[in-house]
Amino acid sequence: MADKITVAGVSVDTRHWVGGQRVASVDTFTDTSPIDGSALGEIARGGPAEAQAAVAAARAAFPSWAATPRAERARLLHAIADGVEKRIEELAIVETTDNGALLRSHRRGVMPRVAHNFRFFADWLLTLEHEDFETRGHSNHVSWDPAGPCVLITPWNAPLMLATWKVAPALAAGNTVILKPAEWSPLTASLLADIAAEAGLPAGVLNVVQGYGAEIGDALTSHPDVRRISFTGSVPTAKRIAASAAANLTPLSLELGGKSPLLVFADANLELAVDLAVEQYDNAGQVCLAGTRLLVEDSVAEEFTRRFVAKAGALRQGDPRDEATDIGPNIHPRQLEKIDGFVQRAIAEGARTVIGGHRRDGQFYAPTLLTDVAQDSEVVQEEVFGPVLTLQTFADEEEGVRLANDTRFGLAATLATGDPERAERVTAQLVAGTVWVNCFFVRDLQAPFGGSRLSGVGREGGTWSFDFYCDLKNTVTAPKGFKDHG
């Protein structure tokens, strides 16, 4: 196996990063590009031995890193952000090649957000405090103590952004990290290891191990020295991780799937509502937050559909490296097969295809809108994770809310209305971790993020991230009892 491969002119190390060193494995797996199906290279495929080594390195580095003053930890996180910003173009082209998302989005939004993740949590760390309070004359002081080695398992749809959303607060909190990227998009995690090392992060504080969940993931999540596990991905995988972690009572943060509604009321700005709906095809529909269930009030449904078809029809699907492309490929042939399976079963059950409903050459799936779908049908109730939307109508506010909440998920919801009182009334009833009113995908790192029901466990963001990645301590001190040192 070659130690390094060249991807779009960028050198990427294919080995793990453990204890400040590159570590090879006997076995490998092939990483392919969804753009054209070409093999990018053979990647080190870790197992229990690599998991053990990574946890041991993180455990060894933990005492020193936990004792590092906040200001120094913050400085190093800012140095990592500097390194990211210097390599935005390289990171963008490698990630586009690896996972098929739009290059223009990586350049202008995603990679700058990666740097911001580090800067935000570095700065938040320096302001993290709870005002002291008294209990019958005794003082109470709340502190956030580093928890220990953290296993962070990240998805393939936004690899580096979602990885650093976890890595940055975990490191800021004084923990050491074992990052396990998705096997379908591992490359930018390897580049992050290089950037962190160049920034001066001590050996063992950040470790990156690659491989399959059943081989290395289980060994990491069941390890007794791991003190936190954060996972973004599917519900079935989360259940396996939770079962694995249960023996050690390792705390979990789980950000899982969604089947989010996009509610359009008759009083909404219809042009805005259509724009919001078409935006749900972003990243070829591979967005957990996407409002894939369009719920439109009866009286405007026909006009909404007409405008939607026209707007969606103007989307350009093709090579994600082309600035003019709006929708790129889906990540993997298996994912494409899954998407098409959902659509074809829905059609067989009586769903009507308004647009799309078929594959295109390569790993592309046509943007699809299905109507005449039953509320209890698979395509309405289960996450497709592709460019597939359903459209249902409702007669009044009560029915709209009922349909919106009628799934096992509760990650997000989007609401289009021109009535602020209705917005307040409806959002209060929606089961979701995030609700957007007349907007979509506006996320501030100081806000809590997570899902309800099967969409997840816990919240991260701002102080909530530190609450998860730390052991909170309350110190109660009596007003008397100290010797007089005067």
Which residues are identified as catalytic?
Answer: 255, 288
Strands (E), 382-447: 388-394, 409-410, 412-416, 434-437
Coil, helix or strand at residue 57: helix
Cα 449 to Cα 434: distance, rounded to the nearest angstrom? 7
What residue spans of 314-453 are helical by DSSP H? 333-348, 378-381, 397-405, 420-429
Instruction: Report residue 28: phi and psi, to 5°.
Output: -140, 165
Give the SS3 label for residue 142: strand
Q: Which of 90, 83, 85, 88 is nearest to 8 (CA)?
A: 90
Q: Is the dihedral of CA 60, 64, 67, 70 positive or negative?
A: negative
SS3 63: helix
Letter string b/e over residues 442-477, b meaning 16 or more CB atoms within 10 A of that residue's CB: eeebeeebbbebbbbbbbbbbbbbbbbbbeeeeeee
Can you state the percent helix, strand and coil of the chain, rounding each to 5?
Answer: 40, 25, 35
Q: Give the largest Cα separation in the chain, rounded.
A: 86
Backbone angles phi, psi at 46, to 5 degrees: -80, 165
Rounded CA-CA distance 280/440 in Å is 9
Label residues 98-132 b or e (16+ Cβ within 10 Å = b). Answer: bbbbbbbbbbeebbbbbbbbbbbbbebbeebeeee
| d(C-alpha 208, C-alpha 211), whole Å | 10
With contact defined as beta carbons under 8 Å apart, do 233 and 248 qualify? Answer: no
Enclosing H/E stretch for 198 = helix 187-199
Smallest CA-to-CA distance from 183 within 154, 163, 144, 140 is with 154
Cα–Cα distance, 292 to 105 (Å, whole number): 21
- 38 burial (CB, 10 Å; 0-12 / 13-18 / 19+) is exposed
Q: Which two tokens stand for residue 294?
A: 């369009």
